[in-house]
Structure 1
């Protein structure tokens, strides 16, 4: 592991826990099975979905991703503008969001279907790796600093071709209880090179009676995926809120560092009372 990679101080023991109301084991197990089944069904359907036109494909991805999240027992609240995911700027769009959980990926896909940026190791995973590649995932080598320029070129090329690309620029998951990591600059350079707008997105989690339930959804450190899945399905009343913030034009800031700061500031300081455009129960 390269020393330049971001490392979150969040640990499963200190951050990944749920202290609110819980579901009993039987309903939780049913949700777990339903969520996993829908996930793998979607993965197996990737080759067929790619044969569809862009608008139909995006619509199907949005519905599938939203259904997967709800199948795991999580309600979704969408706020902000352009939540229909239909409009695509000519030069593509870079979607950047804070990172808390594995749930963040289907959450973003449920409103803004995009080509995801993932670490290169995922390409070698059985079944999921080849299908992720077939589905347009952009793989980058995160642990090699020399590979960074190539990663920027790959992302910029996808944006210039008109693709929407989603990235979590914090580089690691953070539980959200004490802020989060700063946005890394590489993806923002790609947006500048392609002349693409940056779309900040804020993701938060809560349960009834709390303002932040990130502990229930958090997937941090060496937390096993199975433990995180069980924590999510047993957390009663877990709601994920995704806020789509106004775009930041790539040329609005003097460079990638300023552009990254502007996007992170929008995500961190978004306290506006934005109207809910859709609520999924």
Structure 2
């Protein structure tokens, strides 16, 4: 298996909770229309590239998330100027504009993103660094491209888990992208992304996992009421603070990852304790893959 292709056990059926107080269909349609208009505006303006003020990009990104009905709360340390590797846990396609609201940056994304309606065209014009995760031999070249962008003073955003998770569970950070930061001698800034309901409970409606489609996820988010995106920008990890990518990835992981339950911990806990014990995850096997059937309450 490619290091770019880790698997997450989260699926829409097992991990995404239905919203019992969904917004009315007309409101959801209006939200999606507003998102489409903003994306089209972004595509039209994208040829201007670096001539667009960073503050405009931040505001456009926050407005995009708010247009689909999600409140945004950003706290923590301001992102520095110059070459910077932003790393975050990965839950949803919403993570992309949320991180752009922190610091406009070149995104590291899988090649499939090119095929997304509207968003794929915008990503290509915005200078996204696309990764063919099925080709292990392409990894050194990809790391070199990222390092080159960082050395040139650009910010690059990456999701080192390599796959989206539901938000109640998480994957470990893969080390390859951190080598680019070491080679370029730039700082790393971890960001923690969480999605909650207005009552503070974890909200999984934004999760884009498993066999979920982008259109299905868009519709689910548009119909969700009271969803809040919490973005916590953690302190910068300075160049030289860790001598190798293993140590750097380990230092960034706890800072950026919101939930305490990793997939490994979930599986180990489920295998060691009875399935019917309160608070324990339920693990099953479907199609040869281990999947979380029920997650412990956060």
**TM-score w.r.t. structure 1 length?**
0.86
Give 1:17 shift: 2.9
The farther-off stretch of 188-197 and 131-140 is 131-140
Residue 134 of structure 1 and its aligned partner are, at CA, apart by 3.2
Q: For 1:168-207, list aligned pairs within 5 A.
A: 168-177=159-168, 179-207=169-197
Structure 1 segments, 4+ long, off by >6 Å, are: 124-127
2:64 corresponds to which residue? 68
Question: Is contact 2:39-2:118 (8 Å) kept?
Answer: no
3-state SS of paired residue (2:205): helix
| RCO comparison, higher one (Cα < 8 Å, 6+) | 1
Q: Give per-residue Cα distances to partners, 1:196-236, cap 9 Å, x unaligned.
A: 100000000111224210x1100001101121111111111
In 2, the alpha carbon distance for the partners of 1:125 and 1:229 equals: 12
1:250/1:259 contact within 8 Å kept: no
SS in 1 for 2:188: strand
Tell me, what secondary structure is at the counterpart of 2:127?
coil
Specify every segment of 5 or more residues in structure 2 that has no aligned partner in the other structure, as ranges: 261-298
- For the residues of structure 1 that align with 2:222 and 2:258, how far apart are their CA atoms? 30
Partner of 1:132: 123
1:42-61 equivalences in 2 (<5 Å): 42-47=42-47, 49-50=48-49, 52=51, 56-61=52-57
Gaps in structure 1 of 5+ consecutive residues: 272-281
Alignment of 1:239-278 (within 5 A): 239-268=228-257
Aligned to 2:81: 88
Q: Number of matched residues?
A: 260
**Partner deviation per Cα, 1:220-262 (whole Å, 9 max, x = no partner):** 0110112111111111111101000001123111310110011
Q: TM-score, normalised by structure 2?
A: 0.81
Q: Match of 1:110?
A: 101
Query: In the TM superposition, what are the counterparts of 1:1-16 in structure 2 within 5 Å?
Result: 2=2, 5-16=5-16
